[in-house]
Every structure is written in structure tokens, then in C-alpha cells.
Amino acid sequence: MRPSGLLPNSVRPADRRPARGVFRLAKFCIFNDRFSSNLGDGIIAECLEAGLRRYLPRALLRTIDLGGRSGHAPDSSARYRSAGARLRDAWFNAPAFAHRAMAWYRVDRRFRAYVTALSAGADAFVIGGGQLITGNGVFFPHRLATIAAIARERSIPLFIHAVGVSDPVGWQAEAAAYLERAFGDDGSALSVAVRDRLSADHWARTFGGKAPGIARDPGLLAGEVYAPSARDSGRRSEARQIGVGVISADVVNWFGRGPAGAVKPSLEFFSEVGTRLVECGLRPVYFTNGSGEDEAALAALSDHVAKHYPVLRENARFAERPETPAALVSAIAALDGLIAHRLHANIIAYACRIPHVGLGWDDKLASFFCSVGRDHYLLGGGARPGADAARLIGEAMREGIARDDHADIVAEAWNSVGVLAQRLLEVGQAAKVA
């Protein structure tokens, strides 16, 4: 039996009518990676904002990008192909004073001024929209601590909604200190709901107190938020297209915190997946979520297939980078099945009722698959993971995704947003915004 995912004192899942009594000038700021080059982040952010707008149509909502971005400008894949890994490794190994100087300039000076200006007059802050709270690096925790500090200075509440939380084992000491400063138990107004039970355990172990509530990932609303492009009727092609999400091995090496049997991305792995799919009469569609390092890996794979796999080259398609979150949803919704490492690709596939197979590399993927009752479609490492992935997607397509189960989980995601909206409404009323 899958967990319900419902928060205490929740609104009825089927009741998506706007909450009554919202004051016209109530203002709430939402912080997330809306304009990340990884468009999966943008999908989650847009779904959360769309859900809140449905419940709070007269409130002023402002989404503030955590990176200070204002549009979906892509990363340069050429930069990652030529020197991306070396540059990142060099930065990770740079002296501490260089990190402190850059942190002061980018966060304490520029980011604080940026947030202060855009959030003027806000009644509450919300951090939510797909983030993983992690201490693998310093800049992201530093930004979160800055947002929390501004909320405390203004005496306004801070809501944490549907975020993931990684295992704190292995966090950098300085990053952990920033996160403790942001979310530690200091008596500040803080309301927390994370996206799965594993994240709840990590939060409680890291910041103390009881485990927080569970709020379904807003990305599960994508099938409705982006309708009609994500409708599950009349979109299938005779070619039986299977999306194969390409991820950079560098991402897995830098950020992976999964089991020892993780599926390692490589040119040979992706080539074998495609070859096996072609043998089964399916057409591989290689794509990415849009980040520069993944686009570089996709370009390298295209070259590799052209040189060494003539049959696969004739039958596979290498998709152009989607330019917007809506374009990524539309591309995934047009598939007959999906195989991917990226969590957001799997979330969007589920939201659109596309049978999907996850390629294990991080605990967050396993936690999501378990939460929607699809853990048997999460593949671990093996002797021939490419062949196993092709076999498993065939099984997933034959079984499909049960409509009733899917509807229940999407309703729970709406419910989670509704609970957040109700709490924001109470804040607006308490502030007596007229």
C-alpha cells in the first residue's frame, strides 16, 4: 500500500475552488529554480505557482529565481564538452579564501540586494518547487540562509514546501552551518513539508524535532497544468517512441548519493539501451532536460552512435533541446515510454501517465518511485543494465499506469498545494492586508 502523502488538516483533494476571503493585495514570494537550464526545475516551479494561483486568484504571487535568473537561457554545451568537469573540479579544490570572497560578492552583496528589492512588501516567503536541500556545495545553502534571514528581519513566516532533503552524511561543514542557520530550531516562524518520507527523516535528523509533513511534488500536476499538450489521448504514434533521458556522468559522480548498484551513464550504456529498443521494434528518442552538461553528453552520444552503430543511427532520433518547461512537458507527453536517470523526467512522465523506468543513481529517485508504487520499475546496476532497461520498459508499457491510482496521487498533489494556500491565506488575513 502506498503512503497517502496527505498533510494533517488538509483540504478535500477534489475541492480545487479558490479559497474564500483572499485579500486582493496579499503578496507571497516563492523561491525556486524557475529559470534553471535544467527545465525540470522550471516545470516544478510553474506547477506550484499555477496551483497556488488556482487557490489564491487574488493574491499577488512573485516567483524569485534562486540563481538571480530572469529567463530560460541555455547553458553552453560546448563549455561542458571542452572544460566543464575540469573547471568544476578546480573550483571545488580552490582555496577557502577564494570561496569566501566569491560567496560574499555573489550572495551577501548581489543576491541579498536582489531578494530585498523583489520581495518588498511580502507577507510570507515560500521555498518550494523541486529543490533538493543538500550541503554538497556552499552557494545554495548560503542563499537559503539569506532568504531565511530576510524573513526573520521582517518578522514574516517562511514556508518550506515539497522539497527533498539529502542524507546529511557527507555535507560540507560550511554548507551544513548555513543550512542550520536557515532552518535550525531558533524559534523563528517556519512551516515545513517535504516531498517524501526519506526527506522527512533526513530533515528531522539534521534540524531536530519531529519529522515534518509530506507534500506531494508539484510536478505531479503537470498533466493538468500544461493541458492540452499533456493530454494522454490521441498522442501515440505508430513508431512507438521511447524517450531515453541522457545525463552527464559528471552529474552522477558529483551528486550521486545512491546505492552501490547504481546505473552508471556512459556512451556504451546509452548505445546498448537504444540498440535493444530497436531490436524490440521501438524507436529511441534521446533527449535531455536541458542542462548544459547533459546536452554535451547528448552531443557526444550522437557522434558515438554515428561512428559505431549504423543501425541505431538509422532508427534513433536525437531531440533538440527544449526551450521552455512547457516544451519539455509536451515532448515527454508525446512518448510511448520513458527511461531516465533524472528525477524530474520521471515525475513528468508519471504526471502524463507515460509508462517509465527509472535508472537508479540517487536515493531521491528510489524514494519517488516508492511513493507512487512503482519501485519495481526502478532499475539498479547489473551485468547488462542496457538490456535490462529495454526489457523493463516493455513490461511497464504492457502494464501501463492505472488511471484510478494516478488520479488519487494527482489529487493528493492538489491537496498539498491547497494546504499551503490555506496557510498563506491565514497569513494574509492576519496581516490585515486591505
Q: What is the pLDDT of residues 16-63, one digit of tens each?
A: 555 554 444 689 999 999 999 999 999 999 999 999 999 999 899 999
Residue 13 above 80 pLDDT? no
For the ranges 115-129, 184-198, 229-243, 383-397, which has the lowest average pLDDT?
Answer: 229-243
Residue 174 one-letter amino acid: E
Domains of the chain and any CATH numbers: 27-221+408-430 (3.40.50.360), 224-401 (3.40.50.2000)
Cell of 67: 540563481
Classify residue 110 by its DSSP letter. Answer: I
Query: How high is the pLDDT of residue 8?
Result: 37
pLDDT digits (tens, 9 = 90+) for 281-313: 999 999 999 999 999 999 999 999 999 999 999
Confidence of residue 2 (pLDDT cuts 50, 70, 90): very low
Query: How high is the pLDDT of residue 12?
Result: 44
Can you tell me the distance from the alpha carbon of 300 to that of 295, in angstroms, rounded to the nearest whole number?
9
The rounded Cα 421 to chain-centroid distance in angstroms is 21
Cell of 258: 545512491
| In contact, 129 and 48? CB cutoff 8 Å | yes
pTM score, whole prediction: 0.88
**Is residue 261 within a helix (H) or strand (E), and if so which, with residue range?**
none
Confidence of residue 71 (pLDDT cuts 50, 70, 90): confident
Return the closest-CA partner of residue 273 out of 309, 297, 219. Answer: 309
Query: How high is the pLDDT of residue 126?
Result: 97
Q: Where are the alpha helices (DSSP H) in 186-291?
A: 197-207, 222-225, 249-255, 267-279
Rounded to the nearest 5 percent, the helix, strand and coil shares of the chain are: 50, 15, 35
Can you tell me the distance from the alpha carbon of 329 to that of 350, in angstroms, rounded to the nearest whole number?
11
Classify residue 80 by its DSSP letter. Answer: I
**Which is higher by pLDDT, 210 or 394?**
394
Q: Helices 343-351 and 403-430, interaxial angle, to 10°?
A: 110
Can you tell me the distance from the alpha carbon of 427 to that of 424, in angstroms, rounded to the nearest whole number?
5
| In contact, 369 and 358? CB cutoff 8 Å | yes
Coil vs helix vs strand at 243: strand
Residue 75 above 80 pLDDT? no
Query: How high is the pLDDT of residue 5?
Result: 37
Residue 89 above 90 pLDDT? no
How confident is the model over 116-130, as a mean pLDDT? 93
Query: How high is the pLDDT of residue 229?
Result: 62
Q: Which residues contact 136 (CB under 8 A, 6 or more apart)?
A: 166, 170, 171, 172, 175, 254, 255
pLDDT digits (tens, 9 = 90+) for 393-426: 999 999 999 999 999 999 999 999 999 999 999 9
| Burial class of residue 146 (count of CB atoms within 10 Å of its CB; 0-12, 13-18, 19+) | buried
